[in-house]
């Protein structure tokens, strides 16, 4: 089906046929969900050995009694694992509680209220302080900015990461840009891995930006490969050292999609200066993280080999679901102009771009037919996709049979919405 070559009669005929198909779907009274970028119960069960794994031995490697207060930076062995995930020295990593998003908000609070270089550098003192947001992106990053009243400015994602020509031009032109969100590996939702050139250019931004500028390098999918020989992400800290901009990047990761999503360990990595500023704020809110949980994680995943073997088991569970989505998209749209998507080599999402002005209609049609999709616009700041095109598909939770059933509905909804938009 190609809309660009269709005559009005053809479009009307398609509309009639598709409306009939859609009605037949409505009659099935489905209840399917492709919204949640979270692990399935089967994936969570891979880590159930965490429960009871300490068998009464609460001592960390250096003898710390993890049951007690203290240890703001986290236990040494957890910091070491985080350091390997983030490509840093353990001295530059803190291990925290169950959520990297919490650490991102705490870091943003630090920048906004207290400043990474003393209060005179606080973002609240910068008129019109703004964050760059590559789009489509992760909605909860936007919420952090909204909560703090930081304006968001979008920049398009390309196949190699954010459009760096635009990023550099914007930063040169506007010193009130004080931050940028990045999901550098298997970006949420496009699945893009930033190229080496992009990583080097992001590291160099610290040379042209306001000294208060910080990249929030959210490496949530650092080890979430779905293929053998996965794409490699260049080391941002090495690039920063080469550019002399170590203070310009804060790195984040967590075990949320490695072990138990609600009960994992989060990591923050950065320069000594950045970590000191962060510690000062964190130390006001807690005497230390849940070190027992950190120790449990280190017993389950003592090193990178164990972590890789564990991630392979996730990939074995997730892969058939991704393959189901991709083969359905291929079968439905490969020879059409109705949508564009990429085949990600890892992560949790497949990003689908409809024709302009169709995404909201697709999501509504699907919802009415009992298939929940992430709200259109959620991948853009303020929930506004200016072209109304992007839909994030998250296939990890449903069974393969349910993914297939949901994708059959998705196909009809995309076709129907596209034809109706063209006719309108
Ligand atoms: N960052 C990204 C890009 C995510 O997609 C998610 C979860 O979907 C998170 C962070 C949340 O991480 P955490 O569970 O560590 O707070």
CATH number at residue 334: 3.90.1150.10
The answer to whether residue 49 sits within a structural domain is: no
- Quick one: which of 7, 389, 344 has its CA closest to 159? 344
ipTM of model: 0.99
The first and second tokens of residue 237, run together, are 């800290």
φ/ψ (deg, to 5) at 59: -85, 130
pLDDT at 276: 98
> Where does the pLDDT of residue 41 fall: very low under 50, low under 70, confident under 90, or very high at 90 and above?
very high
φ and ψ at residue 136, rounded to 5 degrees: -70, 155
Number of the ligand 1 atom closest to the C-alpha atom of 101: 16
Q: Do 318 and 202 fall into the same domain?
A: no
Contact residues for 140 (Cβ-Cβ < 8 A; gap 6+): 101
Q: In the block, which residue shows the tokens 């700041």? A: 381
Q: How far is the CA of 272 from the centre of ligand 1 (A)?
A: 24
Runs of H (alpha helix) within 334-380: 359-368
- Domain membership of residue 239 (yes or no) is yes
How close is the Cα of 418 to the center of ligand 1, in Å? 32
Strands annotated E in 190-233:
214-218
Which residue in this structure is represented by tokens 């392979």? 312
Given 261, 279, 303, the domain boundary residue is 303
Q: How many domains does the chain have?
A: 2
Are 264 and 172 contained in the same domain? yes
The pLDDT mean for the chain works out to 97
**CA separation for the pair 99, 413 (Å, rounded):** 35
In a domain, 27, yes or no: yes
Q: Is 258 in the pocket of ligand 1 (CB under 6 A)?
A: no
User: Do 284 and 328 belong to one domain?
Assistant: no
Same domain for 206 and 337, yes or no, is: no
Cα gap 170→155, rounded to integer Å: 9
Phi and psi angles of residue 80, each rounded to the nearest 5 degrees, phi first: -65, -40
Tell me how far apart the 2 most distant CA atoms of the chain are, in Å.
Answer: 78
Same domain membership, residue 281 and residue 419: no
Residue 72 maps to a domain: yes
- Binding site membership of 396 for ligand 1 (Cβ less than 6 Å): no
Q: Is 207 helix (H, G, I), strand (E, B) or coil?
A: helix
Range of the domain at 410: 3-43+308-423
- Please indicate, yes or no, whether residues 34 and 155 belong to a single structural domain of this protein: no
pLDDT (0 to 100) of residue 183: 98
User: Residue 256: CB within 6 Å of ligand 1?
Assistant: yes
Q: Do 284 and 328 share a structural domain?
A: no
CA atoms within 13 A on the CB side of 237: 20
The predicted-structure confidence for 189-227, as pLDDT tens digits, reads as follows: 999 999 999 999 999 999 999 999 999 999 999 999 999
Q: Is the dihedral of CA 292, 293, 295, 299 positive or negative?
A: positive
Same domain, 411 and 297: no
Query: 100: Cβ below 6 Å to ligand 1?
Result: yes
Mutate to test the pocket of ligand 1, among 188, 265, 297, 374 (most ligand atoms within 8 A of CB): 188
pLDDT at 261 over 90: yes
The pLDDT > 70 percentage for the chain reads 100
Cβ neighbour number for residue 42 with a 10 Å cutoff = 15
Q: Do residues 171 and 206 share a domain?
A: yes
Query: How far is the centre of ligand 1, averaged over its atoms, from the C-alpha of 183 (Å)?
Result: 10
- 275 and 380: one domain? no
Ligand 1, pocket-test mutation among 38, 101, 347, 349, most atoms within 8 A of CB: 101
- Residue 255 placed within a domain: yes
Query: Which of ligand 1's atoms lies nearest the C-alpha of 261?
Result: 14
Give the domain CATH number at 117: 3.40.640.10
The DSSP secondary structure of 88-100, one letter per residue, reads S-GGGEEE-SS-H
Characterize the bridge pairing of strands 151-158 and 161-162. Answer: antiparallel
Gyration radius of the chain's alpha carbons = 23
Confidence bin at 372 (pLDDT 50/70/90)? very high
Asked if residues 337 and 4 have their Cβ atoms less than 8 Å apart, the reply is yes
**Of 303, 321, 337, the domain-final residue:** 303
Q: How far is CA 311 from the centre of its chain?
A: 17
Residues in the chain: 424
3-state SS, residue 275? helix
Q: Are residues 293 and 322 in the same domain?
A: no
Contact 243/208 with Cβ under 8 angstroms? no
What share of the chain in percent tops pLDDT 90? 98
Backbone φ and ψ for 349, nearest 5 degrees, come out as: -135, 155
Half-sphere exposure of 357 (CA within 13 A, CB side): 6
* Residue 422 in this model has a pLDDT that exceeds 90: yes
Residue whose CA is at the smallest distance from ligand 1 atom 5: 188
Q: What is the pLDDT of residues 1-14, one digit of tens each?
A: 899 999 999 999 99
| pLDDT of 36 over the 90 cut | no
What is the C-alpha separation between 421 and 424, in angstroms, rounded? 5
pLDDT on residue 389: 98
290 and 396 co-located in one domain: no
Task: Note whether residue 233 is domain-resident.
Answer: yes
Q: From the CB of 37, is ligand 1 less than 6 Å away?
A: yes
The yes-or-no verdict on residue 105 having pLDDT over 90 is yes
In whole angstroms, give the CA distance from residue 162 to residue 325: 25
DSSP helix/strand/coil, 259:
coil
320 located within any domain: yes
Last residue of a domain, one of 237, 270, 303: 303
- Ligand 1 within 6 A of CB of 220: yes
Residue 48 in domain? no
Choosing from 86, 184, 220, 395 the residue with most ligand 1 atoms within 8 A of its CB, the one to mutate for a pocket test is 220
Contact 143, 121 (CB under 8 A): no
User: Is the C-beta atom of 101 inside 6 A of ligand 1?
Assistant: yes
Instruction: Round to whole Å and give the CA distance between 337 and 403.
Output: 23
List, in sequence order, the alpha helices (H) in 244-358. Answer: 272-285, 291-300, 304-333
Start-to-end CA distance of the chain, whole Å, equals 18
What kind and span of H or E run contains 169? helix 164-173
């Amino acid at each position: 089906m190609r809309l660009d070559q269709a005559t009005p009669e053809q479009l009307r005929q398609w509309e009639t046929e598709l409306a009939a198909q859609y009605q037949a779907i409505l009659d099935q009274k489905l209840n399917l969900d492709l919204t949640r970028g979270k692990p399935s119960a089967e994936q969570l069960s891979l880590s159930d050995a965490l429960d009871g794994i300490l068998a009464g031995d609460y001592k960390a490697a250096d003898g710390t009694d993890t049951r007690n207060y203290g240890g703001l930076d986290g236990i040494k062995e957890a910091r070491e694992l985080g350091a390997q995930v983030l490509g840093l020295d353990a001295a530059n990593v803190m291990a925290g509680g169950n959520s990297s998003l919490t650490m991102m908000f705490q870091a943003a609070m630090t920048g906004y209220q207290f400043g990474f270089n003393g209060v005179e550098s606080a973002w609240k003192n910068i008129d019109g302080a703004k964050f760059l947001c590559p789009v489509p992106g992760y909605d909860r990053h936007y919420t952090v900015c909204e909560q703090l009243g930081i304006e968001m400015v979008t920049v398009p994602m390309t196949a190699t990461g954010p459009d760096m020509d635009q990023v550099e031009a914007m930063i040169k032109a506007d010193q009130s840009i004080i931050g940028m969100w990045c999901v550098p590996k298997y970006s949420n939702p496009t699945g893009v891995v930033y190229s080496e050139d992009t990583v080097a250019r992001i590291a160099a931004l610290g040379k042209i930006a306001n000294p208060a500028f910080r990249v929030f390098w959210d490496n949530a999918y650092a080890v979430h490969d779905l293929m053998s020989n996965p794409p490699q992400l260049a080391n941002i800290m090495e690039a920063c050292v080469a550019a002399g901009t170590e203070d310009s990047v804060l790195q984040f990761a967590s075990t949320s999609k490695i072990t138990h999503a609600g009960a994992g360990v989060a990591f923050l990595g950065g320069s000594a200066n950045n970590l000191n500023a962060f510690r000062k704020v964190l130390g006001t809110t807690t005497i230390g993280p849940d070190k027992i949980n950190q120790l449990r994680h280190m017993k389950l995943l003592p090193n990178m080999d164990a972590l890789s073997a564990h991630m392979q088991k996730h990939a074995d569970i997730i892969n058939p679901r991704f393959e189901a989505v991709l083969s359905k998209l291929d079968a439905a749209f490969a020879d059409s102009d109705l949508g564009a998507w990429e085949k990600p080599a890892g992560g949790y999402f497949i990003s689908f771009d409809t024709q302009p002005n169709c995404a909201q209609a697709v999501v509504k049609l699907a919802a009415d037919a009992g298939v929940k999709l992430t709200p259109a616009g959620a991948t853009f700041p303020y929930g506004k996709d200016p072209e109304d095109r992007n839909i994030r598909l998250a296939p990890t939770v449903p069974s393969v049979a349910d993914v297939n059933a949901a994708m059959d509905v998705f196909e009809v909804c995309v076709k129907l919405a596209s034809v109706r938009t063209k006719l309108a």
